[in-house]
Structure 1
């Protein structure tokens, strides 16, 4: 009954997007108003990120039953968003009631096709790993259509789209897939690895690839610090600063982050919080001089703030990992 009421509210109050190129001198302002729905913040950020737009500021508010976000965005050249095709797509996609609607993806590495096999890999990172994986796939007559691989904290994860190099279509033979899995797992296994390497097949286009890589590395517990990697980051002075504390008078948990700014940073943070089953009620994002400051007021999806110190520490570790992972993105 509650679900039907929520659907009625959304029909009565459809999402509304206002795109303003006049109010701000150096950025396009995008305001999104909608009935609150779990995952909508991630959807909005994902749409903007996949269009290769840079979010320089953001103001988030989703208290009660209403969601309102304001984003200042520019393109990769530092200009306002002027293309009618892009503006129309943003409005059409974000004003759709279906937050899983197909997205216009303009960046290399976000292609999706029914004519390939999607392979997910996890294992121990080491020099030469990528070339060994490619060599195995070549020997097995697999053509790499596109791929994305991240390494973090001595772990590696990849989503690779392959096709048969003679037909150009997806590989469906179970015996051949079993051979591919056995050989890739053999390559991925490190000499002292206590965690087993994994290769799984996934349907293309089901989950956004950047989000899937976060999920794979999170499941592989890459956020648990390896001492030598942590020491190296500290020497460079580039470690993100993440704090988690209580806001007892408002019954929220507050998260603040300072880190080096980079493309897709906001997507990575919101993706991680969403997949960890937290809801952002209020938030602010500011970037300047290559530094990003983020502040979020969150609760768990059950409506409760974080109460245990162990959970606070885990959130800090996971957000630090989310900030650091994409720095090692290749392909």
Structure 2
């Protein structure tokens, strides 16, 4: 299969294809002597294979294992990696390579951004979520007890390597959760994504589906176009957070036991209902949210007894300004807009529309 290269503002490329490990040294770049491969515990063998390959290419390569998923995104784990870099003598001309999902990407990017005020980082995402979201755009971050990604930095990578072969061993729940971010790109910018998913819902649930590569490439292009126009999320880039304000609140209330994509799926239905109640969106497009996401097997409801905690978490969202809540909404298909300071009654009414009973039809993926 051919290799696809998608430029992000001319600053770096996202390389998509199969069997791409040979591309990694070129993305790491000339003049780099030391490379730290950051990988989760579950990908120890993959991280070691990448390390050995870089050593064979003449690099002084090290591997550092971090916890799986959101447990990696803490100040303590970041400090551990800073210690590894210091002990190995990493300088500004050296680099980090992340191998893993979105949490590993966020952590490794943050450590790269903060070591010596910024060294090169190359992302090798191994999950669908990592490929279409976390690895592209340069947003890095770690969590605190007060919220998700509240500590972070903008630090664009030197390159992103999306080897689709890695998706073949990804558990289906993780693959389906990643599809939430793909569908998000369809709603905010590229309706062809929705058409492809709806044409074969079963195929869209599998890494072997006939449209998976096109779906990934389209989602990456959506993000690349938005990021290139607004690197530091001053305006346009906020549209990529569609569904994330409520979704991040669910993650926090659930102590990150929910997969990110599952929470964002509920968040998109919530914000669609909010837009409908605010007179911005018609019933048909709201129902399309439920049918597409539900058809993929993603949750579209959440337990109905958590409103005070969710509201408190949303008030700490990065898009909030002072005490004013701000949401990315749709005023039509692929027509994102902002809803600022909605009436509290609307917020709670939208919550009622996505609420399930406590025993729960809304089950974490």
**Which structure: greater helix fraction?**
2
Answer yes or no: same fold by TM over 0.5. no
TM-score normalised by length of structure 1 = 0.24
**Which structure: greater strand fraction?**
1
Structure of higher RCO (CA pairs closer than 8 Å, 6+ residues apart): 1
TM-score normalised by length of structure 2 = 0.22
